Structure 1
Amino acid sequence: MLITDARLRHHGDTLHDVEITGGLFTSVTPATGTANRGRQDVLDADGALLTAPFVDAHVHLDYANTVGQPRHNTSGTLFEAIDIWADHKAQGYVTRESVLENAATAVRAEVGNGVGFLRTHVDVTDPALTALDAVLELKDRVRDWCHLQVIAFPQNGILASPGGEELLAEAMRRGADVVGGIPHFERSREAGVASLRHVFDLAERHDALIDVHCDEIDDDQSRFLEVMAELTVERGLVGRVTASHAVAMAYYGPGYMAKLVPKLVQAQMRFAVNPTENLQLQGWGQSAPMARGVAPIGQLDAAGLNVAMGQDSIADPWYPIGEGDLLRVLESGLHVGHLLSEPVLQRCLDFISDNGARNMGLEDYGVRVGTPADAILLDARDDKDALWHHADVLASIRGGRTVFRRPRRGFLEAMPGLTVSDAG
């Protein structure tokens, strides 16, 4: 395949021709205007932005499209959602067929929005591990569309859930890629710390990455993040550990943050922040002014820490909408983080691409010679333009094969009879 006249990130208006051979990018050169003569396998980018696929750094595919089963979350809170999910499991809603169907629908939506890599948490506190087996099956089914990385996630706690330690270990044996945890949901701080030690022990045994739901609670005394940083350095896992959510950071005072951030930098902690989800879930019951419980993206980013963003939920008890539209997630995150400065806007796609790839440990990610030919074509000139105009995804390419293509559309073309002079 040859992609002609494509813009690339951080290359200004210079157009490039990109050659794909054997599923790899084999040439990236300035466009000549003649490269496609006599060829049939040509995709004319026509000045659109060619970039690596988006990375959803945090999603729960096994929960997707279950909203209202068995009831809706009337309070809008995190803890009612967890109670609803417990009833969802107890009432037999979790079957192989339902998880496969609902998760596949979610993956199709994500891929249609330009996502090529998903890091999905899967609840492994069900003794049958039904959802885990279904998502692992789905991972194989959708490999021609996108790549799934599966996290064994103990939704009800490792120690607080009956058989939690054994189920987490069994999930890793069955093929989960990453070890998860949720220390703030254990019965005490001591149990939370013990659960983290168990997570790190298991990750070491499997040489696996770690991604923990950490301090997802409106409580400035929830401080498991510092424990994670300490364990990361202690175990020699620097750069291999992700803290998801970390919403309690929104409530930490400046003195504690001054102490904490250097520890995070030393551990090269990764972060997966889910702004749309936590803007909905956090802050209920707080007195005005209401804090909104999103980790301080700007402060972490300024410290050189890797911050990725994720959809988190797609129509489930935690979040009643969502479709893996990471440009929408990115826009929310930049607004709540006061990050609409020009330098950040010029690299804003990092939060839903390169940074997520680092969390996932993807070393061969990006449009450059020698990497797998995974890419999307955005109807935009650059990062800022893609965010500003919520750019359409014109094409998705996986391993050098086209997953889908869409015709370009324009505002004026969509409204016959309207001209620029009319608008004046």
Structure 2
Amino acid sequence: MKKITVAGGGVVGMSCALSLQAAGHDVTVIDPGPIGEGASWASCGCIAVGEIVPLSQPGMLMKVPGWLINPKAPLSLRPSSALRLLPWFTRFTLNSLPSRMRAIAADLATLTFASTADFKTQLQDIGAPDLLIERPVIKLFDNDHDKATMGAAFGLARELGCKIDDISGQDAHDMDPAIAPNFQHASILHDWSFVTDPVLLIQKLQQTFLQRGGRCISQAVTNFKREDQRVMAVLCTDGTEIQTDEVVIAAGVASKRLGKILNVPLQMEGLMGYATLLGDSNSDLKHTVFYPSGGFGITPYSCGLAVAGTIEFAGENAAPDWRRADVLVERAQRVLPGLCTDQRERRMGRRPFTPDTRPVIGRTPRLKNVIFATGHGQLGLTLGATTGRIVSDIVAGVPSEEDISMFSPSRFDPAHRDPALRL
């Protein structure tokens, strides 16, 4: 049995903690909290098996110049952050090359194709199988042009094994009558599913962890005590010092700061995503629905209807621009006629993105007992259980079922980067 400290109490951190605990380790989770209000709570709550084509796909990049000058666009950049983000965005853009897109998609598929089975196993373990709704996702398109922008992404996803059926907008309405009948095209993403409440999910993970003897500390990690190439203790805001045999960095956007303290460079940025929970929506939507030209999705949670989306590049401490949440609600009425929007709860979460869209999973050669499990972008909820399983395998010293070499933190480190690891 090892003493293991997990920095981060979101869906990835708690999943790692539970998997390590199940393997017989003494696990402590450190997070400034509140639990359940990280990136996942401002999301569509999907197990997005087919979300494997990187954001830097050419169809999206062609729209970026216009988006960046429009504060209501699906993607925006605050001027105060432009210069700092230029190196990251340059690398991000380079990954739109067809060969890189294909490689990234294939790598992500190795993880996402295992995600549903891993997630269902996790839900059974915590006694909450009903949190998962295994129902396909629908994407809606106004016209031929909108549909064409997804052509390359859908083609690559299908080639790698995703099941996507093209139907008419009327067919989508017949499938889910809450959807407006006047879309020209729609697609059914059969591999996807969604949760009934992402906040409840994370709370259930934490409750199970605590019931089994785990410990959660509501502090931020401020530093580490090291000897040679090992971390011996984790230091918290209040001066608490936690002796440890292994450290897992699963702190979302804060992982970049912790990596810097450990002299492990991470090319990762926290992109702000927005959501609004509508408490009394007057809608009987049954499926998660995405409207790509509007930059959002809608999910029928048990506690209300979630309208979530957009990506905003801004500083780590930037205040939310709630206009971006409000405009999504306005656009949602195009999808759901008669939508009631009076009862609103706004949410914002910072999603940790790498320029190649791959998460960061694995050990660093700079430190023998530190594992990174971060940078999941929009796939934190999707890959939480899978990442937890992989991290437990790493600690045990056994090969995981997937090849995780392309997710190594070393790909950002000039001193240790394998030439095969491209950004």
| TM-score of the pair, normalised by structure 2 | 0.30
Greater RCO (CA < 8 Å, at least 6 residues apart): 2
Q: Which structure features the higher share of strand residues?
A: 2
| TM-score of the pair, normalised by structure 1 | 0.30
